[in-house]
């Protein structure tokens, strides 16, 4: 299953809203996760089951979607949110990642 994220880069000002998209080449039901990766760090799980926050993830983050279309929304960007975000499907082996969206400061 090919996961396609858009846009590749998103420039947003602190305090504004960011919306990141992920599309699957075939249905993955809700077996979709989002990860955040900051420079020099390992990825961190943000969401699983498309919309369930992992432990410790702030409520300004929300996830939605099912089937082939998914969205990660950050309601009011904080400085620590600027990072690369990946989606990943766990519906079929091999589990595949999107190519990532880099969220940068405008």
Q: Using CB under 8 A as the criterion, which residues of the chain lie in contact with other proteins when the complex forms?
A: 31, 33, 35, 37, 41-45, 48, 54, 86, 88, 90, 93-100
At its nearest, how many Å lie between other proteins and the CB of residue 48? Answer: 4
Distance CA 94, CA 54 (A): 23
**Whether 95 contacts 87, CB under 8 Å:** no
Residue 15 or 42: which CB sits closer to other proteins? Answer: 42
Distance CA 55, CA 58 (A): 9
At its nearest, how many Å lie between other proteins and the CB of residue 15? Answer: 28
At its nearest, how many Å lie between other proteins and the CB of residue 68? Answer: 18
**Cα radius of gyration rounded to whole Å, the chain:** 13
Distance CA 96, CA 12 (A): 27
């Amino acid at each position: 299953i090919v996961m396609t994220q858009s846009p590749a880069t998103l420039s947003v000002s602190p305090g504004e809203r960011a919306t990141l998209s992920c599309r699957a080449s075939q249905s993955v039901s809700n077996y979709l996760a989002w990860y955040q990766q900051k420079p020099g760090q390992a990825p961190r799980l943000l969401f699983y089951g498309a919309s369930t926050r992992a432990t410790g993830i702030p409520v300004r983050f929300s996830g939605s979607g099912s089937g082939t279309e998914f969205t990660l929304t950050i309601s009011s960007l904080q400085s620590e949110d600027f990072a690369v975000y990946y989606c990943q499907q766990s519906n079929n082996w091999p589990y595949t990642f999107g190519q990532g969206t880099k969220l940068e400061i405008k």
